[in-house]
Amino acid sequence: MRRRTLARLTIAATSLSLLAALPAALAPAATADGGGHHQAYKRVGYFTQWGVYGRNFQVKDLDTSGTADKLTHINYAFGNVGPDGKCFTGNVPGEADAWADYVRPLDAAGSVDGVADTDGQPLAGNFNQLRELKAKHPGLKVLISLGGWSWSTHFSDAARTPASRKAFVASCLDLYIKGNLPVDGARGGAGAAAGLFDGIDLDWEWPGSEGDTDTVFRPEDKQNFTALVREFRTQLDAYARTLKKRKHYELTAFVPAAPAKIDAGFDVRRIMRDLDFVTLQGYDFHVSGEKTTAQQSALFARDDFSGDQTVRDWLRRGAPARKLVLGVPFYGQGWTGVTGGGDGLGQPAGGPAPATWAAGYEDYKALKKLAASGTYTVHRDRHNGHAWLFDGTTLWTYDDPHVLRTKSSYIRDRGLGGAMFWSLDGDTPDGELITAIDRGLKGR
């Protein structure tokens, strides 16, 4: 199974007019905890619930690849919000997958600790494997990410009133932070997942502006999102005070690149007071549904979306540099039927390129094989920080280790909070991309 959860951007000329560059003097300098000490950098990877199926990407792979050693946070994608405005799980096709989350048994070969799940244990599946991964890698934090492209449908309703916000937040804490999972056979029950999640990531796409086709949005979403963040912070802190051992539950959010979307849904100065950090959309600047090929994740671009412009837009609106974590893709956007010659970039295309899981979307590990096949030519814009493959007909725009080293240097130079990756299952079995980022953030 697979769900489209990517944060797609619609590129409009009116939005592009807002992308004038800030003066260089406004670029933040590296700070003591951002530019000099690599352990301060966040390295946040999304683990997709559905990746355990077709891609056969298991939690154990994070350990055997060495990836877990290079991560500070895993965001588990995703938790859903129901029509009643509350967090829920179950086995509902397209809406929830408790089987993958905590019911599915794994044998010894598939388990992080090398021990097979038993019939009577209350927690199995991905959740139990993440618990085992944390035990093996102390300091690694796991957050539940709520929403995503497909599951932001009811966020606006849940955040609409003080009462609905309180009920929504309470339900999410009960399910994930307190770990009170619905009973499913021998699995689940009160406290079954207690202690697994170290916080909550809000992935509402998007408050105040258009998202997926069925996602509700309203003009008042901006103020309601601010209040929702405050409510999460309040309830997380209150619950932490009841624990015998002091704990800080982290609260983060995935936020957009488009200035129009930022202004429609995010009171930046206020939400940043309550959020530990935000992960910036640093990809899908252009997507394979467009009629012309273009970069999807350039670090710099003239009169276009870019990672640098996204950072500057958030800084200009009052976000602290140390709380900005730049997102990078572990996949590529692709077009076929490209005409016009040259290196293929900026040329008309017939449509999304054929791919393994969804047309126009391919994991980096597959694109690496294309690059090595001899059929495609690797093109680089070293000044602007992006790469693409072109064989004369089909073009893929993506990030490889060369690009990610450039972006890591940028993060260090600007004193940013770190890097985020969508998604971990796109990397090679030996963790080539995460290794490039890890080394880059360490200045190696």
Rg of the chain over all Cα atoms, to the nearest angstrom: 21
- Measured CA to CA, the distance from residue 111 to residue 337 in angstroms comes to 44
Tell me the two tokens of residue 326.
Answer: 């730049």
Tell me the three state secondary structure of residue 13.
helix
- Measured CA to CA, the distance from residue 194 to residue 59 in angstroms comes to 19
418: left (phi over 0), alpha (psi -120 to 50) or beta: left
Please give the single-letter amino acid code of residue 37: H
**Which residue of the set 205, 231, 250, 362 is catalytic?**
205
Tell me the three state secondary structure of residue 268.
helix
- Measured CA to CA, the distance from residue 202 to residue 148 in angstroms comes to 9
Task: Report the 10 Å Cβ neighbour count for 13.
Answer: 6
**What is the full DSSP assignment across 184-209?**
ETTEEETTTTTTT--EEEEE-S-TTS
Task: Please say whether the dihedral angle defined by the alpha carbons of residues 80, 280, 67 and 287, taken in this order, is positive or negative.
Answer: positive
- Measured CA to CA, the distance from residue 117 to residue 114 in angstroms comes to 10
**What is the full DSSP assignment across 296-315?**
SS-SS-TTS--HHHHHHHHH
Spatial contact of 46 and 333, defined as CB atoms under 8 Å apart: no
Nearest residue to 259 (alpha-carbon basis) of 22, 437, 57: 22
Quote the DSSP letter at residue 292.
B
Task: Report the 10 Å Cβ neighbour count for 414.
Answer: 22
**What is the full DSSP assignment across 347-405?**
-B-SEEPP-SSBTTEEEHHHHHHHHHSSSSEEEEETTTTEEEEE-SS-EEEE--HHHHH
- Measured CA to CA, the distance from residue 36 to residue 174 in angstroms comes to 39
Active site residue 362: no
Instruction: Spell 290-322 as b/e; 16+ CB within 10 A means b.
Output: beebbbbbbbbbeebbbbbbbbbbbbeeebbbb
C-alpha distance across the termini of the chain, in Å = 39
Spatial contact of 47 and 74, defined as CB atoms under 8 Å apart: yes
- Active-site positions read 205
